[in-house]
Structure 1
Amino acid sequence: MSTAATRTAGPDHLWTVDEHLEDILATVRPLEPIELQLLDAQGCVLVEDITVPVSLPPFDNSSMDGYAVRVTDVAGASEEFPAVLTVIGDVAAGHAEPLRVGPGETARIMTGAPLPPGAEAVVPVEWTDGGLGDGPVTGMRARSQAPEAATGHVHVYRSAEARAHVRAKGSDVKAGDRALDAGTVLGPPQIALLAAIGRGTVRVRPRPRVVVMSTGSELVQPDEQLADGQIYDSNSFALTAAARDAGAIAYRVGAVADDAETLRDTIEDQLVRADLMVTTGGVSVGAYDVVKEALSSVGDEDEEGAGIDFRKLAMQPGKPQGFGSIGLDHIPLLALPGNPVSSYVSFELFVRPAIRALMGLEDVHRPRTRATLTTDKALTSPKGRRQFLRGTYADGEVTPVGGAGSHLVAALALADALIVVPEDVESVEPGTEVEVVLLR
């Protein structure tokens, strides 16, 4: 982990959104790679190209339950004139019998079993009498039942082309092919591929460990009784869920009271399991000094580059922000405002990219697009601030939900996009094309 970026701006400097984000991404570095078992590597980013050591499938095999045949032996077979073949044995998946199919012969074969030498195709069991008898039949019918042992003869009622119902060796991937590229995020399909080619472990950047805590003496945990002046702590739940959604292993810490010593002790206790820390609340005027005091003396504050810088951003919501690194290992810490919408928007703009950078991803940002604003009246925005309004996006159109208030949690729950109003725009008319950050 690198030390915090040099911050030369004075205390009265109004940071832009881009400046603040650049400062964060200049500080955060990808976590060191480790070797993990496959299931432990889910959600992690590969740091090596994966080459296939063995072809998939590793041998020609049957895609059906049926009979392995020579094409010439079933040529012209029909309901009226079936081909009658001698069954020489069974070929089951995972147990290849030393059988060779000669002229006039067949082997009963199971799905996934290797195609025996001499055979050129597979006829499904439904195209046969299942080896149940040698007598003539009238009318095609599904004959899926077969005797317990393959003996005697089988009647085949259809011809088959070469390689019919045969999965060719290497038809999925061939030995020497590149299976996965470095930088791939390992999801269930990628885990399946790694297992299929025999990889039990893989070298990845681990998922970042993110500790989330709310601050505020007024906060109460859900299911507890509210007293006068108290509210439920929703921020820590929202941000922990958001961190997990971003790919992190997230730990939620219960709300900490507005006391510098308590906050400092809590943060120091949590450093041992953190690659990134996120606090919410206590960064605006009022509680500012308490949080500043706590965060400026956590761990080894004398280490070069350590410390938290509190700043004002030219954005709405989310003007007050804090960022820096703490402790001997220079763990990055982002201090977000306490209002729910401000906190969540700040997470999407700053914390999520930091998490993705720790993972080693090249593209750390949410996708953006242009959309037509659909609303009954013009949107207003404060001059000199980049505003992020909640909205719903569909089919190239975006509709605002809720107002500009930073406390509107219900409206936030309906939103799947952020409408971006630039700093130099004070009004946006209906029908205007706007930039949209897609949240889902």
Structure 2
Amino acid sequence: MTISPESFRERILSEIEPMAASPQPIMECLGLACAEDVRAGVSLPGFDNSAMDGYAVRAEDVAGAVPDSPVDLPVVGEIGAGQASLLALPPGAAAKIMTGAPLPSGADAVVPYEWTDRGVARVVIDQSPSVGQHVRYAGEDVSVGDVVVSEGTVLVPRHLGLLASVGRSHVAARPRPRVVILSTGSELREPGQPLGHDSIYDGNSFLLAAAARQAGAIAYRVGIVPDSPRDFLTALHDQLVRADLVITSGGVSMGDYDVVKEALAPQGVWFGGVSMQPGKPQGFGKVGEEQVPIFCLPGNPVSSFVSFENFVLPALRRLMGKKPELRPSVTAKITHAMTSPKGRRQFMRGDYDGTHATVSPVGGPGSHLIGDLATANCLLVIPEDTTEIEAGEPVEVLVLDQEF
């Protein structure tokens, strides 16, 4: 008996709670979900300041200035950013001012250098600004008490810049989950090692560790575990001290050497079939004293990747407090007819063209075809009750490698 992908995902997410939030330095929060509504403790700008290098003036003192009839004013001082010594501007005078420097009391406009002779003791002005021209007023961007970052916002560089600008050095955020990845199989070898006649390179642990890291987690690739339940359990329990979540690949089907299933089923980890292709054999449960979630994925690389997208990624996003938890889908017209097995939801590799909202199947349905997976940029989702799709029909598409 198999269960639907939705049922399996619901089973998983019912066991996953967001990680506890804590104050973290803002530079450590890139890609994390903010766990508080952050209110500004200062206004931005914090004071009226100049938007140009030029001269602070009273607009009425230079009204009507034109090239044929300029206005000549005495320069009573100079105001630099962070070096403001002139606090007030008397009537009938100008003060040299730099961009970002505070506007002195009495001034209500800035004359750019380009409208003057750039005088030092006196300045000749041949164009008149309006009141407020080239002035940045206090609070026009952000006011004290404004919510500048809402709870749940995934922090990107522009948010970190804003947080620093309102004086926040730390912000409450949920940490990055620590994910341990184990590959099982006596046939596996590390890349760079010589291969025997019956051995293959371990690509899965690299694939899954990279996917976890792309999702925002800290990934620990443990390496290869041979087909021995005892060796597997030893490696697993050695790693639980640094794991918030564990991923294994291989050893979950019905074979004589499916050591993950043999080792973990007696410990209460669920193993069964999910009505999808690729990725039918799945396992999930919790292990160790800390009840760490463990995902037991099938060993073929495309099956592992599709399983990660459907089940591990939503769990990681829940741990991190990120919304939405599922990768959003789009609709596109398929360019070629294709068939799909009845009773299984197929996740076919594809090439999505966002400009024309079309998608082309890439390669075959085989779960071992990692070359085709690498050239694809999306997964086509074909429902269980659909066996044939004609060219031009709309299909659901999961666009990979997009931030959401």
Do they fold alike, i.e. is TM over 0.5?
yes
CA distance change for structure 1 residues 343 and 18 in 2, over 3 Å: closer, same or farther?
same
Query: What is the one-letter code of the residue matched to 1:155?
Result: V
Pair 1:93-2:62 in alignment: no
* Corresponding residue SS for 1:229: coil
CA distance in 1, matches of 2:28, 2:393: 47
Deviations 1:235-273 (A, max 9, x none): 111111111221212222212222222221111121111
Query: What is the one-letter code of the residue matched to 1:350?
Result: F
CA distance change for structure 1 residues 287 and 116 in 2, over 3 Å: closer, same or farther?
farther
CA distance in 1, matches of 2:182, 2:114: 63
Tell me if structure 1 keeps the 8 A contact 2:345–2:382. yes
Pair 1:15-2:12 in alignment: no
Per the TM alignment, residue 296 of structure 1 is displaced from its structure 2 partner at its CA by 4.7
Percent identity of paired positions between Structure 1 and Structure 2: 53
Query: What is the one-letter code of the residue matched to 1:422?
Result: P
CA distance in 1, matches of 2:366, 2:203: 16
Per the TM alignment, residue 365 of structure 1 is displaced from its structure 2 partner at its CA by 0.7
Give the structure 1 partner of residue 370 of structure 2. 409
Tell me if structure 1 keeps the 8 A contact 2:188–2:202. yes
RMSD: 1.5
Pair 1:418-2:363 in alignment: no
Give the one of 82, 94, 103 matched to 2:91: 103
Give the structure 2 partner of residue 249 of structure 1. 218
Give the one of 161, 184, 192 matched to 2:130: 161
Per the TM alignment, residue 189 of structure 1 is displaced from its structure 2 partner at its CA by 1.0
Deviations 1:31-62 (A, max 9, x none): 01111111122222122111111111110111
Give the one of 206, 229, 236 matched to 1:237: 206
CA distance in 2, matches of 1:337, 1:168: 60
Pair 1:206-2:175 in alignment: yes
Give the one of 346, 358, 362 matched to 1:387: 346
CA distance in 1, matches of 2:300, 2:326: 23
Per the TM alignment, residue 114 of structure 1 is displaced from its structure 2 partner at its CA by 0.6
CA distance in 2, matches of 1:52, 1:99: 26
Per the TM alignment, residue 340 of structure 1 is displaced from its structure 2 partner at its CA by 0.9
Per the TM alignment, residue 289 of structure 1 is displaced from its structure 2 partner at its CA by 4.3
Query: What is the one-letter code of the residue matched to 1:26?
Result: S
Tell me if structure 1 keeps the 8 A contact 2:77–2:86. no
Tell me if structure 2 keeps the 8 A contact 1:101–1:107. yes
CA distance in 1, matches of 2:273, 2:257: 12
Task: Spell out the pairing of 1:5-404 with structure 2 (5 A cutoff).
Answer: 13-131=1-119, 151-286=120-255, 289-296=258-265, 301=267, 307-375=268-336, 378-394=337-353, 395-404=356-365
Tell me if structure 2 keeps the 8 A contact 1:389–1:418. yes
CA distance in 1, matches of 2:181, 2:262: 19
Task: Tell me the number of residue pairs that the alignment of Structure 1 and Structure 2 aligns.
Answer: 399
Query: What is the one-letter code of the residue matched to 1:106?
Result: A
Per the TM alignment, residue 288 of structure 1 is displaced from its structure 2 partner at its CA by 5.2
> Given the two structures, how large is their TM-score scaled by the length of structure 1?
0.88
Tell me if structure 2 keeps the 8 A contact 1:258–1:287. no
Query: What is the one-letter code of the residue matched to 2:198?
Result: G
Tell me if structure 2 keeps the 8 A contact 1:215–1:255. yes
CA distance in 2, matches of 1:130, 1:262: 80
Query: What is the one-letter code of the residue matched to 1:46?
Result: C
CA distance in 2, matches of 1:212, 1:296: 19
- Please identify, of 164-173 and 259-268, the stretch whose mean Cα deviation from structure 2 is larger: 259-268
Tell me if structure 2 keeps the 8 A contact 1:86–1:106. yes
CA distance change for structure 1 residues 201 and 47 in 2, over 3 Å: closer, same or farther?
same
Deviations 1:174-223 (A, max 9, x none): 01111111111111111111111111111111121111221112222222
Give the structure 2 partner of residue 304 of structure 1. none
Structure 1 stretches of 5 or more lacking a match? 1-12, 132-150, 302-306
CA distance in 2, matches of 1:119, 1:290: 79
Deviations 1:346-390 (A, max 9, x none): 110111001001111241011112221111xx3121121111101
CA distance in 2, matches of 1:20, 1:288: 24
Per the TM alignment, residue 294 of structure 1 is displaced from its structure 2 partner at its CA by 2.9
* Corresponding residue SS for 1:27: coil
> Given the two structures, how large is their TM-score scaled by the length of structure 2?
0.95
Query: What is the one-letter code of the residue matched to 1:227?
Result: G
CA distance in 2, matches of 1:166, 1:288: 74
Structure 2 stretches of 5 or more lacking a match? none
Tell me if structure 2 keeps the 8 A contact 1:89–1:99. no
